[in-house]
Amino acid sequence: VPKYVPLDAAEYPRFTGIKTFMRLPYLDRPEDVDFVILGVPFDTGATYRVGARFGPEAIRNVSVMLRPYNPAQDIEVFDHLSGADLGDVAVVPGYIEESYRRIELAVNRVLDAGVTPVLLGGDHSITLAHLRAVAARFGPPCLVQFDSHSDTWDQYFGQRYTHGTPFRRAVEEGVVDPHHSVQVGMRGSLYSSRDLREAEELGYKVVTMAEVRQLGIQGTLEVIRSRVGARPVFISFDIDFIDPAFAPGTGTPEVGGPATWEALELVRGLRGIRMVACDVVEVMPAYDGPGSVTALAAANIAYELITLIALANKGGSST
Ligand SMILES: [Mn+2]
């Protein structure tokens, strides 16, 4: 029987209590759980707007709306899972390498306990530290990146560590397997005609938003599945993957993206893959729309990612 589950909203009204993700218990160590939520409120890797340091808090606030049965996947998520909110990593604003060290330590602690980390950013620079920890445990994972940018630029302002460079650094450091990785949703203006070609030269498969439109959701899922196979997968979901009409609260929005429901369907369609870690990044509440619509989308994406872990547990326990 799962030990740590969300509060029952039929007994405790959703607006009561301290705002952990989905009203899960707050724990200070990853014990007796299958997954943990870990906030990473670091945003000084951003090249344009800042404010994603308040992303974890905003996502937790609206996540109280989430309910334990997922009808799209027909699963009682917490019949198969124990989960907790571990709070936030004590990052150091403005000091990216020290923050990376602290993120790695926090994620190592989770992985050493055999627990799946679900990180809430923070800007996309945090994913490099997350990947370092995951690669140290599983070997370089396949990356499935939902994003409007490939984040494989070499540097900004002469700096190698920013939210526009993590997936180039990850290849250089050998903490990702680019040849079985896929980046989905790229669109918008670029610095040069070479930008996306360089991502492909690093080894990534790039599926642009125009290609997603042509392939459709099922076709896109087939590309992702055939790319990763049965290998360990790291899912990184940048909220700017979703069209800014639905998710305006982000640092570098790009028009012409998918609706929220299409993004949810893409994550749901990954059931059966071997996800070992995931993150949802770039939520910036200061730029969010009415009803915290961006944070709400992010909370639901995180819920679908957690559901993938529940589905894997369910399959594994043959119940
Ligand atoms: Mn990104």
Report the separation in Å between the CA atom of 150 and the middle of ligand 1, taken as the mean of its atom positions.
Answer: 7
Q: What's the gap in Å between 124 CA and the centre of ligand 1?
A: 5
Give the per-residue pLDDT at 1. 83
Contact yes or no for 166/154 (Cβ under 8 A)? no
**Residues 168 and 153 sit within 8 Å (Cβ to Cβ):** yes
Q: Compute the average pLDDT of residues 87-104.
A: 98
Instruction: Using a CB cutoff of 5 Å, list residues around ligand 1, an ion.
Output: 124, 147, 151, 238
Ligand 1 centroid, distance to 126 Cα (angstroms): 10
Residues forming beta bridges with residue 234, ordered by sequence position? 143, 277
Q: Ligand 1 centroid to 147 CA: how many Å? A: 5
Mean pLDDT of 239-246: 98
- Separation CA 314–CA 319 (nearest Å): 6
Helix ranges (DSSP H) in the chain: 55-63, 96-112, 126-138, 166-172, 195-201, 209-228, 260-268, 293-316
Binning pLDDT at 50, 70 and 90, where does residue 229 land? very high
Q: How far, in Å, is the centroid of ligand 1 from the Cα of 82?
A: 29
Q: How far is the CA of 164 from the centre of ligand 1 (A)?
A: 7
Please determine, for residue 44, whether its predicted confidence score (pLDDT) is greater than 80: yes
Per-chain mean pLDDT for the chain: 97
Return the pLDDT at 167.
98
**Tens digits of per-residue pLDDT, 10-19?**
999 999 999 9
Quick: pLDDT tens for 145-197.
999 999 999 999 999 999 999 999 999 999 999 999 999 999 999 999 999 99
Reported as a single tens digit per residue, the pLDDT across 51-89 is 999 999 999 999 999 999 999 999 999 999 999 999 999
What is the Å distance from ligand 1's center to 224 Cα? 18
Share of the chain above pLDDT 90, in %: 98
258 CA from centroid of ligand 1 (Å): 15
pLDDT at 319: 38
Q: Is the whole model's pTM more than 0.95, yes or no?
A: yes
pLDDT at 175: 98
- Cα(162) to ligand 1 centroid in Å equals 10
Q: What separation in Å is there between the alpha carbon of 249 and the centre of ligand 1?
A: 14
87 CB burial (10 A radius; 0-12, 13-18, 19+): middle
CA distance 73 to 317: 17
- Distance from the alpha carbon of residue 17 to the mean position of ligand 1, in angstroms: 33
Ligand 1 mean position, distance from CA 125 (Å): 8
Query: What's the CA-to-centroid distance between 316 and ligand 1, angstroms?
Result: 32
Confidence at residue 316, expressed as pLDDT on a 0 to 100 scale: 66
pLDDT at position 318 over 60? no
pLDDT tens readout for residues 265-277: 999 999 999 999 9
pLDDT band, very low/low/confident/very high, at 251 (cuts 50, 70, 90):
very high
Å from CA of 149 to ligand 1 middle: 6
Give the distance (Å) from ligand 1 centre to CA of residue 7: 33
Per-residue pLDDT tens over the stretch 277-316: 999 999 999 999 999 999 999 999 999 999 999 999 998 6
Instruction: Evaluate if residue 105 carries a pLDDT over 90.
Output: yes
First-residue to last-residue Cα distance in the chain: 13
The answer for residues whose C-beta is within 8 angstroms of residue 9's C-beta and 6 or more apart is: 23, 64, 67
Task: Evaluate if residue 317 carries a pLDDT over 90.
Answer: no
Q: 226 CA distance to ligand 1 centroid (A)?
A: 23
CA distance 238 to 103: 18
* 28-52 mean pLDDT: 97
Q: Could you give the percent of the chain with pLDDT greater than 70?
A: 99
Beta carbons within 10 angstroms of residue 90's beta carbon: 10
Instruction: Please give the distance, rounded to the nearest whole angstrom, from the Cα atom of residue 209 to the centre of ligand 1.
Output: 14
Cβ contact 123:45 at 8 Å: yes
